[in-house]
Structure 1
């Protein structure tokens, strides 16, 4: 498992399974080692019991007449151990009656092996090879003649339990039994234990996966509820939170139940807070709408009376100038009131009349108006040959484009080129690009906020309420579209995307060139 920033993160289910299986594997391993050690000790004890009997027989045979063991005649040519004659080579005590195959017999004098042989499967003594004898001599060098069984490695003969006993005159008799059968039994035990342990781990893992999965299922339902709530548009509008954790998953006696109950309490608190916020926003919108509506009449009256007084004439020059300023501010206040009223109605979901809007013709009209209002700017259009149609409110979309071009005219110096592009790719994509000084990077994210003000580096020859781009965003959002801005010094692009765009069939009278290619022109 890696560490650091790229550390692998496991799921809770995986961690629980590992927390269950790893200790189980350790317990099985410990039990296996202890059981194998105990069985090995028992098998070695059995070999030692047989070895003690073999040593007694060897000692008894070593003291018998050299002609044979248990026979009436000493020099007869007997054919087997029961006959008492020694068949094959090796120490004369090796083939004592009762010795089994594999039994080792050796004589050692002054540390040197003088005779050594083992009993083969036919019951005959088979002398050791020179290499086996050398291995036996090295092993017996560490075996004292004290009659205690010890395990030695005899090379090609394998492991043996041997006992060395003194026989007088400095001679030592060595008797041994092989451990091959005991080691084979231990190997079978280990193989069976490992196989059974692995099968047990697999079975335990499968059962654990099912149990853990069922145990964590309520937690998954809690997470699913939280995910559905997180996907709701909680930032604005009237939002209800119908999702709750099921009562079966809110049992306070369980950990998951406590989490589910806490999540339900949290959702109740959030719903209450959202309801309070929505009520406050509704009251505020109603107040703004009512205030804007009520202000329209006195502002209009101020404008009318001011204009009436000025038309009568006969006023001093300073009074006439003051009335002009009053009238100009009244006009500005009237525009502000109209913008506030429009935003309040858009927030309430009203003020949109849906129809089919020809964006191509709309762009040409609005750019022509912008050229008339700002002749010191260069106005360019790039349009497809076929008309782009979208469902929407013609007046409000006209206001969107007019506000965007007015924003360019107001906040860029004379000589700036503004290009309006239109294309269709499933959506109607409207781009207004200018090569002005751009928007400061710290203000790009807030240009669509209400009463947002541009940086002083962008010229402000005319007044601005700070609501133009807010109205753009509100209208575009009301049409189900999006609006964004990208700006660097020398290039600012505002992009409006409107859904449901269709392209009208081009007029056949325009010839073969009317194939949807873009048209570019500069309005002068």
Structure 2
């Protein structure tokens, strides 16, 4: 679990949707689809509304042009002359001087006379005139006149949108006309589209607010629905997590965890996953039971074989030793052979004893539980090691106060002796080996440190496995069996402790951590906390 989190740190999850949880991706996908749908619907409605309002403006623009143009110029664009319904006063007035009374305020009427060097008459439409003849023209700036005239002429008789800056946005059209029955003019009519733009902006804002509110409601509701829908998947994941926390590498494993029956419905995707997980757990459980049965058979065979071999090996050693004590002279060659027989018998006896000890520890045989002074044990073991390897430099680093642990003194002595024998065997003469004893909260720590060549990096992970060796040879002059460190691991584990190693060229450190004796205030008996 920690390795997975280290490989995928949490901040990196949000850099790509691939690292998002499933429920987050589902809700995000739903919101994205709804957002796209809202944009499409809102955009389509906005375009349709703009087209409809523009069409209405064009109709008003056509009516304005009809009132502005007198006589002729109807053409095929529909900008025809006014009907006969105009009052006599209107017929007597000229649109060049005053705008027609039916033209809306805020509109623009311009008349371009090509024959008079492009003179432009007219202007913006004001309110009622003080002369009583209807509306008046308001002057436009030369820039506004030029922009409006150029845009209308470029449109070729079709309505066009024109931006006149401070004056505003207009919809304009130009069409040739005869004014007052004489002269050919180019009439330009323009209507303000401010109301149209305001309407479009209001509709767009309202639509955006509605879409945003709908997305928030859909996201909240979708999160609840997705969370409820994926609860069976959470239960399947919880079952898999509980199985992942079990120790499956050794011993008898009771694999009773299963996905609940309601979450194994094959009609649903989650049910298919749950059913497949249950089938897989059934197969794994059967395999673990078969493995445990095989291991128990092998352990029982090793224990029985080791026990049975002790007697013939003791007999071989006895006869070899008896032959050396015979009163009759023994030829040198035969004496050498008997010496080798006795030496190999001792080596086989040590191997059998180690295998028998490991078999007993694997079987869970209880060890003695009594206070053991770890400092004195380190002193005794170091003294024995000095006698066995006088050409090494042996050092002790002990605390001022005794360090007491609860366990089997003989087995703990064997742990320290095996570590020191390992250091003596795998370091050259003259190397320094230091035995250090100390404490940490709730635990005693024993370290064996040497300044030898170190352990190969590829051997460190399996250094405590049985018959692990630093070279390819199966025999050594020192008589090592390859079980010393595996015995260390088994004994320390049986004492509910931990053992580890750190090694580099020039320094190798074996660390043994054991629970300290913690007296109980109620029963006055030592209790044993677990190290870890």
TMscore range, shorter length: 0.7 to 0.9
Partners of 1:59 and 1:93 within 8 A in 2: no
Q: How far apart are the structure 2 equivalents of 1:460 and 1:502?
A: 43
Aligned residue number for residue 130 of structure 1? 141
* Residue in structure 2 matching 1:165, options 142, 153, 175: 175
CA shift digits 1:461-488 (9 cap, x unpaired): 4211111111111001111222122333
* Residue in structure 2 matching 1:325, options 337, 340, 359: 340
Q: How far apart are the structure 1 equivalents of 2:407 and 2:512?
A: 14
Q: How far apart are the structure 2 equivalents of 1:279 and 1:50?
A: 97
Shift of 1:381: 0.4
Aligned residue number for residue 239 of structure 1? 253
Partners of 2:67 and 2:100 within 8 A in 1: no
- Structure 2: 5+ residue stretches without partners: 1-10, 73-80, 129-133, 520-532
Cα distance 1:434–1:130, how it changes in 2: closer, same or farther (>3 A)?
closer
Q: How far apart are the structure 2 equivalents of 1:407 and 1:152?
A: 96
Q: How far apart are the structure 2 equivalents of 1:446 and 1:140?
A: 90
1:487 aligns with 2:499: no
Q: How far apart are the structure 2 equivalents of 1:277 and 1:271?
A: 10
Aligned residue number for residue 109 of structure 1? 113
- Of the structure 1 ranges 317-326 and 357-366, higher mean CA displacement relative to structure 2 is found in 317-326
Shift of 1:60: 5.2
Aligned residue number for residue 516 of structure 1? none
Q: How far apart are the structure 1 equivalents of 2:440 and 2:497?
A: 14
Cα distance 1:108–1:326, how it changes in 2: closer, same or farther (>3 A)?
same
Shift of 1:405: 1.4
Aligned residue number for residue 290 of structure 2? 276
- Of the structure 1 ranges 273-282 and 128-137, higher mean CA displacement relative to structure 2 is found in 128-137
SS in structure 2 opposite 1:245?
A: coil
- Structure 1: 5+ residue stretches without partners: 75-80, 504-524
Shift of 1:93: 5.6
Counterpart mapping for 1:52-201 below 5 A? 52-59=62-69, 70=87, 91-92=96-97, 94-96=99-101, 98-110=102-114, 112-122=118-128, 124-131=135-142, 132-144=144-156, 146=157, 148-168=158-178, 169-201=183-215
CA shift digits 1:319-360 (9 cap, x unpaired): 333222222222222211111110000011114111111101
Partners of 1:484 and 1:495 within 8 A in 2: yes
Aligned residue number for residue 380 of structure 1? 395
Shift of 1:90: 7.0
Q: How far apart are the structure 2 equivalents of 1:463 and 1:445?
A: 24
Cα distance 1:163–1:418, how it changes in 2: closer, same or farther (>3 A)?
closer
CA shift digits 1:412-440 (9 cap, x unpaired): 33322211001101221111112233333
Counterpart mapping for 1:238-387 below 5 A? 238-317=252-331, 318-387=333-402
Shift of 1:460: 5.0
Partners of 1:93 and 1:105 within 8 A in 2: no
Partners of 1:356 and 1:389 within 8 A in 2: yes
SS in structure 1 opposite 2:405?
A: strand
CA shift digits 1:277-313 (9 cap, x unpaired): 1110011111111111111122222222333333233
Shift of 1:368: 1.5
SS in structure 1 opposite 2:458?
A: helix
Q: How far apart are the structure 2 equivalents of 1:453 and 1:423?
A: 29
Aligned residue number for residue 396 of structure 1? 411
Shift of 1:85: 9.3
Shift of 1:56: 2.6
Cα distance 1:90–1:284, how it changes in 2: closer, same or farther (>3 A)?
same
Aligned residue number for residue 431 of structure 2? 416
SS in structure 1 opposite 2:491?
A: helix
1:15 aligns with 2:25: yes
SS in structure 2 opposite 1:213?
A: helix
SS in structure 1 opposite 2:69?
A: helix
CA shift digits 1:160-179 (9 cap, x unpaired): 33343333322123333222
Partners of 1:91 and 1:117 within 8 A in 2: no
Shift of 1:133: 2.4
SS in structure 2 opposite 1:39?
A: helix
Cα distance 1:85–1:362, how it changes in 2: closer, same or farther (>3 A)?
farther
Q: Once superposed, what is the RMSD of the aligned Cα atoms?
A: 2.9
Q: How far apart are the structure 1 equivalents of 2:296 and 2:337?
A: 39
Q: How far apart are the structure 2 equivalents of 1:206 and 1:351?
A: 59
1:443 aligns with 2:459: yes
Q: How far apart are the structure 2 equivalents of 1:182 and 1:262?
A: 63
CA shift digits 1:15-60 (9 cap, x unpaired): 2222222222122111112111111121122222223333333335
> Between Structure 1 and Structure 2, how many residues are aligned?
482
SS in structure 2 opposite 1:384?
A: coil
Q: How far apart are the structure 2 equivalents of 1:251 and 1:35?
A: 45
Cα distance 1:19–1:94, how it changes in 2: closer, same or farther (>3 A)?
same
Cα distance 1:121–1:274, how it changes in 2: closer, same or farther (>3 A)?
farther
* Residue in structure 2 matching 1:38, options 41, 48, 70: 48
